[in-house]
A = this chain, B = another copy of it.
Amino acid sequence: MNNFQYFTPTKVIFGKDTESQAGDLVKEQKGTKVLVHYGTGSVKRSGLLDRVYASLDKAGIPYVSLGGVVPNPRLSMVYKGIELCKKEDVDFILAVGGGSAIDSAKAIAYGLKYDGDVWDLYLKKEVPQDAMPLGVILTIAATGSEMSNSSVITNEEGWLKRGLNHDISRPRFAIMNPELTYTLPEYQTMSGCTDIMMHTMERYFSHEMDTDLTDYLAEGLLKAVMHAAKVLLTKPEDYDARAEILWAGSLSHNGLTGCGRLGDWACHQLEHELGGMFDVAHGAGLAAVWGSWARYVYKSDVARFAKFAVNVMGIPYDYADPEKTALEGIEALENFFRSIHMPVSISELGVELNDDQIKELAHKCSFMDTRTIGGIQKLDKKDIAEIYRMAK
């Protein structure tokens, strides 16, 4: 088992009607003026925003609002948020929505405590020293940003998508009411489930041995999400299934399912470039590349892929031919993705890649041929191009 740090200070308030506690929670965090930051309108139409405003009013906390965050959140919106917060003397940010609103809020929080251009932090030119405190009211089970230290922002100039991980951006609290996620369309729900699974799988597929507890937690989480996803296909308003994936989303990316392991993260890197170039749903993009990645790398750790096949996918272990078990596990997960109407190829995303595009994706993904990606197997520009080709 590797040495590790585990730090998840976010106070989770989980369950029915919990959004009514927003005002009190901001007060507990000593916020005196709030930016309410949200997406493209569904939180307005559903009446959620009004309930949040009422809760802030009741707690006597003034606020300003900034909506319009889009999926793959944009740097231009971050700049707008920073400007507004400075003008209005905001000292607490409340993100209402999913990963996009939260990631945008984190970028604003960094920017408010940094003198230069916040994009420099995402380009790793400087390390953030501080961030404005923020809280979250979550409406989508997916990215885990509500408890994670991650924020991913897309710069429209060059459509470069870059992530920044730092503990000072972890939200102070996260309000999670499964009922708020009832109206999410099936495609987004299943894309979210895929993202949740992949956050754990990226941690699961690496070479470290002897992490029994972490492995059990990871495997259990994957099984719980797969079961709930199937339930939600026919019963999108099943409270318990919504609750399972909402909570799994947080635990999948707060570090828990990777303690003592190094992780892989190649599929996320492969998808980030796809998302940057074609603006596809993140989870769907992950599903589209996973099978090809797995078939490309599984030989570097047949035992690990076989363990996944048996413990997660329920494949009987073939003692005479573990490689067969490993491959059956990969196929079983692809079949699961199909069953929840997720793509298992890039063309099923509606993107027909040509050779030049594959070259460009591989070039960007390898940081212009200056880095490898992946843990279970290091992948250079040539490998990356081959996986995009297999996943076409």
CB within 8 Å of B: which residues of A?
1-9, 11-16, 18, 209-210, 212-213, 215-217, 219-221, 223-225, 227-228, 239-240, 243-244, 247-248, 251, 256, 259-260
Q: Can you spell out 9 A-B residue pairs with CB atoms less than 8 angstroms apart? A: A3-B16, A5-B11, A6-B14, A7-B12, A9-B9, A210-B243, A212-B227, A213-B248, A247-B259
A212 touches B228 (CB 8 A): yes
Contacts of A15 in B (CB 8 A): 1-4
**Cβ-defined contact, A244 with B212, below 8 A:** yes
A221 lies within 8 A of B210 (CB):
no
Residues A240 and B210 in contact, CB atoms below 8 Å apart: yes
* Contact between chains at A243 and B1 (CB < 8 Å): yes
Q: Given B3, B212, B243, which contacts A260 in the complex, CB threshold below 8 Å?
A: B243
What separation, in Å, do the CA atoms of A220 and B256 have in the docked complex?
A: 13
CA distance A228 to B216 in the complex (A): 13
CB distance from A345 to the nearest CB of B (A): 30
A216 touches B212 (CB 8 A): no
> In the complex, what residues of B have CB within 8 A of residue A228's CB?
212
Give me 9 other A-B pairs in contact (C-beta within 8 A), A1-B15, A1-B244, A7-B11 excluded.
Answer: A4-B15, A5-B11, A7-B12, A14-B259, A210-B243, A210-B244, A213-B221, A216-B217, A243-B260
Question: A3–B14 contact, CB under 8 A?
Answer: yes
A363 to B27, CA, bound (A): 44
Q: Return A136 CB to nearest CB of chain B, in Å.
A: 14
